[in-house]
Chains A and B, each alone.
Chain A
Amino acid sequence: MERENLLAALARAVAPSGCETEAARTILKSIAGLFDEAWTDGAGNLIVRLSSGKSRGKERLMLAAHMDEVGFMIKSIDAEGKARIALLGNLDTRVLSGRRIAMTSGVRGVVCAKPIHAQSGEERSKPTPADKLYIELGAKDRAQAETLVQIGDYGTLEPKFTPLAGGFYAGKALGGRSMCVLLCELLEKLHGMDKDKLAADELFFVFSAKREIARAQFAIETAAFTIRPDRAVLFDAAPAADFGDAPETARGASLGAGAVIAPADAGTLYDRALFAQAVSMAKARGLRYQHPASAALPGGEGKTVHKTASGIRTLSVGIPTRNLHSGAEIIQRSDYEAVLSLACALVVAP
């Protein structure tokens, strides 16, 4: 599938943490015939293996992007037919009020809050907490609502994909999903290529699950444990707040400034050699790259990947993303290109 179409299809897939089926299906469809083997592991990660066909030792390289997204689950339905929700992941409650939502079943609704005429002055200046929000489905009572949604059903903000001017894209879950597109595109590029050129004997493409709800452990750990790669490169969104008057150190990544290559983030000190290699590759190829101040670095999954089993050399590469976890994430094409070129360089032997 052409890149922009796949990006749009994945932005529109309703696949929050714990219910990634639609994203996985879309990904698998787009990479049919491009790999040796694919399976879904016990934690829900979609793993795709590509072999060089040679046994020059047993070097394994894992490339990963998470396919889940922030969303919510129906927690209760009240007598008036309103559905209350529990959030999945770091979905920003400030963006929920008044937004359209979609359930995985296709049922639509609107997130409602206290109407403006009933709000106090203080309420008007504060985001509405999740427990004061409800989903309006159009049901007149509980019985009718239960024909539309069940407790435990999964949903997300409205599926959306909008190209903006200047090579920007806006849409739901674009930061994370664009990195899934990148792995698919990488598989396509490798398909026509002489497998001797691969930088490892076996490549594993992991489309990980449940990243957004992770606390201490990430689901990707099971994939890393099974694969036991020698090296892992994680692709993820890097939060950007490159606007307003925040000091430069608090603005995170900047759109247009290229791939985010991180020496460290809050949970991981990335492998110094891999980090240095990525930086020198980017330099040698004239790729744009950036190291935003540490609070803004991507790759939460590195936290468990690098400590899996006997330890895994891990690197994280990010795409700068505005409005992260808002249902209207913004990325720039040129940054995607930079990350893709870097990924190619890491995967193909020099």
Chain B
Amino acid sequence: MQTKELLAALCGKMSVVGFESYDEKALSALIDPYLDEHEYDAAGNHIFIRRCGKPEAKRLFLDAHYDEVGLMVKGITKEGYLRVCGQGGVDARILPAAEVVVYGRERLPGIVLTKPRELMTGDESGRLTPVTELLIDTGLTKEEAEKAAPIGTPVGFEPVYTELAGGFFAGKGFDNKCSAAAVILAVSQLEMSALECDLYVSLSAREEVGHRAVSTAAFRIRPDAALVLDVTFGYAPEGKKPGDSEMQGGPAVSISAILDKALTDFVVETAEIEKIPVQTVVEATGTGTHADELVYAAGGIPTALIGIPIWFMHTANEILNLEDVEHTARLIAAVIRRRYGRGVDGKE
């Protein structure tokens, strides 16, 4: 499985917050060949399972949230334009004139309308239209739109992926499906009979609207430990902040008081042993990811957090480096082998 192809296929799925099951069949078709079981739970999490076949095996919970930011139809104007609201924190600066996909009865291309400067008056040109005032043009009349894209229809960014130089890759949904891709790459290559652990891969729902779903999965599964994978902010020229990770610096392991120190150290050590490039980022009191929920879920789960650095988060053209995804996959696999392997040094 090629990283790039998996990323485009997985991140290209429609999974706007609250609509994580929209492409369930296609998701199954893509992932089921590599993992043994797949369940879609009541909270919207897709749980894929690989079992080692031993009774009373340990359970490792691998979380990568599968939802992405997007829009939802909230009304239709008399001209047939769709009025929308944000689903998760879409970066409003990228929306004027954006091409979107309206996931109604059928997939419809739509264009976010923007007033030409020639027709602006007063201070309009200095103002960004808030998401709540945007209109989407699909070419449909009001009557047609009411049928094809009724209120509640999700709207996502178009799945277009662009290869840049140096292994950089741009497109939508890397937050956080690139983590899902890394987990799948890792888990699919493991020889399960050599492990003493069942792996629960949770492509979790509703992270972008407040981490709403993951703890229910943890409650059912009662894992012994959890690895949370999420994207981190790559260091970018216009918005450098201390604590940002380096692009091409490898997976970014979070150091935080809220996380399990032993597991975190284990992850970093593993990377060093396996000579996998790794970086650490400090998020002293909280990580803003599912890790914060899992440490306190189901009686408490030792949790570590691994991040993939990306640029330009929450836009239709997030950017990552393929190396970082591949190194993250290697690190996940190495951590699992070292921690749950039967061999002398954790190898099959």
A interface, CB within 8 angstroms of B: 78, 80, 82, 90, 92, 94-95, 97-100, 107-110, 112-119, 124-128, 132-134, 136-140, 144, 148, 160, 162-168, 170, 239-244, 246, 250-252, 295-296, 322-328, 330
**Are B99's CB and A160's CB within 8 A?**
yes
> Counting chain A CB atoms within 10 Å of each CB, which of B117, B126, B248, B316 scores highest?
B117
Instruction: Provide the residues of chain B in CB contact with A117, threshold 8 Å.
Output: 233, 239, 241, 313
Number of A-B contacts (CB under 8 A): 212
**Are B319's CB and A136's CB within 8 A?**
yes
Tell yes or no: B56 within 8 A of A by CB. Answer: no
**Are A326's CB and B97's CB within 8 A?**
yes
Question: How far apart sit A127 and B163, CA to CA, in the bound complex (Å)?
Answer: 26
**Are A138's CB and B164's CB within 8 A?**
yes
Question: How far apart sit A107 and B97, CA to CA, in the bound complex (Å)?
Answer: 22
Tell yes or no: B110 within 8 A of A by CB. Answer: yes
Contact of A323 among B81, B113, B162, B312 (CB under 8 A): B113
**Are A165's CB and B108's CB within 8 A?**
yes
**Are B237's CB and A78's CB within 8 A?**
yes
**Are A116's CB and B313's CB within 8 A?**
yes
Question: How far apart sit A44 and B93, CA to CA, in the bound complex (Å)?
Answer: 35
**Are A118's CB and B118's CB within 8 A?**
no
Instruction: Provide the residues of chain A in CB contact with B237, threshold 8 Å.
Output: 78, 80, 82, 134
Instruction: Provide the residues of chain B in CB contact with A94, threshold 8 Å.
Output: 93, 96-97, 114, 125, 128
A115-B313, A164-B139 known; A126 vs B128 contact (CB < 8 Å): yes
B275-321 with Cβ < 8 A to chain A: 311-317, 319
Instruction: Provide the residues of chain A in CB contact with B2, threshold 8 Å.
Output: none
Tell yes or no: B342 within 8 A of A by CB. Answer: no
Question: How far apart sit A291 and B234, CA to CA, in the bound complex (Å)?
Answer: 51
Tell yes or no: B127 within 8 A of A by CB. Answer: yes
Closest chain A CB from B282 CB (angstroms): 15
**Are A92's CB and B117's CB within 8 A?**
yes
A98-B316, A138-B168, A326-B114 known; A243 vs B79 contact (CB < 8 Å): yes
Instruction: Provide the residues of chain B in CB contact with A325, threshold 8 Å.
Output: 116-117
1/0 contact string of B233-277 vs chain A (CB within 8 Å): 100111111000000100000000000000000000000000000
1/0 contact string of B219-244 vs chain A (CB within 8 Å): 00000000000000100111111000
B57-98 with Cβ < 8 A to chain A: 77, 79, 81, 89, 91-94, 96-98
Tell yes or no: B54 within 8 A of A by CB. Answer: no
Tell yes or no: B130 within 8 A of A by CB. Answer: yes
Closest chain B CB from A238 CB (angstroms): 9
Question: How far apart sit A90 and B114, CA to CA, in the bound complex (Å)?
Answer: 14
Chain B residue with Cβ nearest A167: B139
Instruction: Provide the residues of chain B in CB contact with A134, threshold 8 Å.
Output: 237-238
Instruction: Provide the residues of chain B in CB contact with A116, threshold 8 Å.
Output: 89, 91, 313-315
**Are B118's CB and A296's CB within 8 A?**
yes
A-B contact pairs, 23 of them (CB 8 A): A90-B118, A92-B97, A94-B97, A97-B93, A99-B94, A112-B311, A115-B239, A115-B312, A116-B91, A117-B241, A117-B313, A118-B238, A127-B125, A127-B127, A134-B237, A136-B319, A164-B108, A165-B144, A243-B137, A250-B119, A251-B119, A296-B118, A326-B97
Tell yes or no: B55 within 8 A of A by CB. Answer: no
Question: How far apart sit A144 and B167, CA to CA, in the bound complex (Å)?
Answer: 13
Question: How far apart sit A242 and B79, CA to CA, in the bound complex (Å)?
Answer: 9
A108-B164, A116-B89, A116-B313 known; A95 vs B233 contact (CB < 8 Å): no
Chain A residue with Cβ nearest B315: A98
**Are B113's CB and A322's CB within 8 A?**
yes
Instruction: Provide the residues of chain A in CB contact with B159, threshold 8 Å.
Output: none
Question: How far apart sit A330 and B165, CA to CA, in the bound complex (Å)?
Answer: 31
Question: How far apart sit A296 and B144, CA to CA, in the bound complex (Å)?
Answer: 29
Question: How far apart sit A100 and B97, CA to CA, in the bound complex (Å)?
Answer: 12
Besides the contacts A92-B97, A112-B238, A243-B77, what 15 more A-B pairs have beta carbons closer than 8 Å? A92-B116, A94-B128, A95-B98, A108-B164, A115-B238, A115-B313, A117-B241, A127-B96, A138-B168, A163-B109, A244-B113, A322-B113, A323-B114, A326-B116, A328-B98
Chain A residue with Cβ nearest B234: A115
Tell yes or no: B166 within 8 A of A by CB. Answer: yes
A118-B241, A251-B119, A325-B116 known; A100 vs B108 contact (CB < 8 Å): no
> Counting chain A CB atoms within 10 Å of each CB, which of B119, B166, B239, B241 scores highest?
B119
**Are A125's CB and B130's CB within 8 A?**
yes
Instruction: Provide the residues of chain A in CB contact with B168, threshold 8 Å.
Output: 136-138
Closest chain A CB from B100 CB (angstroms): 10
Question: How far apart sit A116 and B314, CA to CA, in the bound complex (Å)?
Answer: 7
**Are B313's CB and A164's CB within 8 A?**
no
Instruction: Provide the residues of chain B in CB contact with A118, threshold 8 Å.
Output: 233, 236, 238-241
1/0 contact string of B160-177 vs chain A (CB within 8 Å): 101111111010000000
A99-B317, A138-B165, A296-B118 known; A127 vs B144 contact (CB < 8 Å): no
Instruction: Provide the residues of chain B in CB contact with A160, threshold 8 Å.
Output: 99
**Are A241's CB and B128's CB within 8 A?**
no
Tell yes or no: B140 within 8 A of A by CB. Answer: yes
Instruction: Provide the residues of chain A in CB contact with B121, threshold 8 Å.
Output: 250
**Are A140's CB and B135's CB within 8 A?**
no
Instruction: Provide the residues of chain A in CB contact with B109, threshold 8 Å.
Output: 162-164, 170
**Are B118's CB and A98's CB within 8 A?**
no
Question: How far apart sit A29 and B113, CA to CA, in the bound complex (Å)?
Answer: 33
A164-B139, A252-B119 known; A115 vs B236 contact (CB < 8 Å): yes
Instruction: Provide the residues of chain A in CB contact with B165, threshold 8 Å.
Output: 107, 137-139, 144, 148
**Are B164's CB and A165's CB within 8 A?**
no
**Are A114's CB and B137's CB within 8 A?**
no
Tell yes or no: B209 within 8 A of A by CB. Answer: no
Question: How far apart sit A138 and B167, CA to CA, in the bound complex (Å)?
Answer: 7
Contact of B126 among A115, A126, A168 (CB under 8 A): A126
**Are B140's CB and A165's CB within 8 A?**
yes
Contact of B127 among A80, A126, A324 (CB under 8 A): A126
Contact of A241 among B108, B115, B312, B319 (CB under 8 A): B115
Chain A residue with Cβ nearest B247: A140
**Are A110's CB and B319's CB within 8 A?**
yes
**Are B248's CB and A295's CB within 8 A?**
no
